[in-house]
Structure 1
């Protein structure tokens, strides 16, 4: 609310209204923190007004938007079939928005870890209406990854540039990791285990193997809330909430330490800054740990994670077996059910960790180089904003 009041009292034409998606998942809070940090640092001539992306623009907010320099749609997997009006309700008539609409680090959300061709990625007519509006602005918009860029290109939207996720750049100097053995590990819990039994088995197996074979202190991190207040948020995932509690009971039974870091970028920063290695399913755990110059092994449970490989590099393993050919797998693919969890993923994890240690964190250093290169494009994007 403080930043909102400052914006109202200032010269409004120096204002950016920033739509953010932080309501539960700690990764969304990290995106918000990083995005506002970058805008504050590289556009100090602008006052920032963050507001929830999932709330429609009421009369007061629409006035604020129309008296600002730009409406910025910040980060997250917002490029979905029903991006407008489900992700961004905005206004019923987009012509009511007079300020330029610009995206910053948004990306697609393919369900499968074997994503469909970009030109087959579905978008509704209303989403095309929003993207057409964004594409015709006088300013470039920014995307998280190249797959998202190829989707835009396939549909004729050419006013977008791949900058990476804003969370890449919280640690701008990308300080390099020391070549030493990890002495603490964080395992990040995914979301697919809540609806797929084989993914639950995979999750438990990896945690158990880490505890018994790596002989290192392990903490299991929940990025989505495990507290009842989560059920009062916008469109809560009740099934995930229930299944997380069942997993917690299993962790307690095996005396495995766990931590809930939802609803906060600070808790996330504290946890991953203090560990030496991350293994797990959360994309922003991988982004944060890697940006801190520490080794991270991401287990891809959807297309977002797979698409990070082209942008970041590093250790990213597909958590699913390759899907079959033919009509039935094609039909199932639309539901994200066309393949099953790898039953022996732990062997791949072991092999990659051993190789990374032998190679003196070669792929971890590769990530640092890739982030430095992509920052050039993020900085260019920030400089050209109105």
Structure 2
């Protein structure tokens, strides 16, 4: 669902500010070597929600073997740093591989690109630390035409709560505790568990746990119209970044449990309503060794076997930073405080979204080829 929202938003924003309505949308792992003539007829190659995920080329972005064969400018948009556990320490010390830096330099050296745009502060900081110019334009999903310029919609009472589920299976127990906390704290509310992607094995377990606790189930993947019911809800608590954003863009309160650098980077940008899912166990150097070893293990086949045993498909992650068991209680205390003070900590959210659009996102869109 997050990808679908971003796909629609990037077209909407370019159409809104530039009047352009001719898009050819392809998955980032598709190669263009055999269709180079078609690609070179484009005005630009846009990489929305630019994932700086290593190895980046040609793995995350296939494009072409020789990037110089691509004639239009390659424009990354709202870049994001993807890393586990993606905490503040990791953001301050992580070093990109030389191949990644060379790829980023290739993009940065284009005359059409005036530095990188980022969706969060963590991405901005790590790019600047590697010598690149970067500015915050926010997540593409921040911007909802119906609510730009509006204040937060503070609920008088919490009558309908939506919870979204984690990507990673090792958070199942923590997510179960979050469910229990929400039922205890809001026993008279309607509780809905919203699944933003096709159900994984861990999602199927979470669906059963949610049903056992009286949650209504919504399968919300594939079509952003499936999220329209959020307009009539009061609160989101969960793990999906674009579940969190889907509420905030409607000026509704939300709490995000950050699974990795994407969620934690957003929480650092917002400055409120976010909690890291993990508690770091290993320091940077041991963590790097464990992660490097873990990534040399065989791929999806072995992961599926491991996952069916109930273990994480990436067990090395739990060695580095296991789930923090105190997260449900932290969320409870935060929500109690917010209800007491009228959700005061959210007051700066609309201003952040509106000012970012006016000062950086809109000028960036207007600068596109």
TM-score (norm 2): 0.84
Q: Alpha-carbon deviation of 1:125? A: 4.2
1:168 aligns with: 142
On the 8 A contact 1:85/1:126 being kept in 2, the answer is: no
Q: CA 1:143–1:222 in 2, change beyond 3 Å: closer, same or farther?
A: same
1:289 aligns with: 247
Pick the aligned partner of 2:181 from 209, 224, 240.
209
Q: Alpha-carbon deviation of 1:250? A: 2.9
Taking the aligned partners of 2:91 and 2:255, their CA distance within structure 1 comes to 26
Pick the aligned partner of 1:183 from 147, 156, 159.
159
On the 8 A contact 1:174/1:368 being kept in 2, the answer is: yes
TM-score (norm 1): 0.81
1:223 aligns with: 196
Deviations 1:196-226 (A, max 9, x none): 2xx2211111112212331111101111202
Pick the aligned partner of 2:275 from 299, 306, 317.
317
What is the DSSP-based 3-state SS (H/G/I as helix, E as strand, rest coil) of the residue aligned with 2:131?
coil
On the 8 A contact 1:311/1:370 being kept in 2, the answer is: no
Deviations 1:157-212 (A, max 9, x none): 22x322111111124515320351221000010122x1x2xx22111111122123
Taking the aligned partners of 1:326 and 1:136, their CA distance within structure 2 comes to 31
Is 2:358 aligned against 1:378? no
1:35 aligns with: 10
Q: Alpha-carbon deviation of 1:28? A: 0.8
What is the DSSP-based 3-state SS (H/G/I as helix, E as strand, rest coil) of the residue aligned with 2:46?
strand
Unaligned runs of 5+ in 1: 1-25, 227-240
Q: Alpha-carbon deviation of 1:248? A: 2.1
Taking the aligned partners of 1:34 and 1:326, their CA distance within structure 2 comes to 36
Kindly tell me the number of residue pairs found equivalent between the two proteins: 339
Q: CA 1:174–1:303 in 2, change beyond 3 Å: closer, same or farther?
A: farther
Equivalent runs, 1:207-286 vs 2, <5 Å:
207-215=179-187, 216-226=189-199, 241-268=200-227, 270-286=228-244
Deviations 1:291-341 (A, max 9, x none): 111010111121221111332233101222343558645644665332222
Q: Alpha-carbon deviation of 1:117? A: 4.8
1:13 aligns with: none
Pick the aligned partner of 2:68 from 95, 98, 123.
95
Deviations 1:114-147 (A, max 9, x none): 2445474343444333312210112234221122
Taking the aligned partners of 1:344 and 1:310, their CA distance within structure 2 comes to 19
C-alpha root-mean-square deviation of aligned residues, in Å?
Answer: 2.2
Is 2:54 aligned against 1:71? no
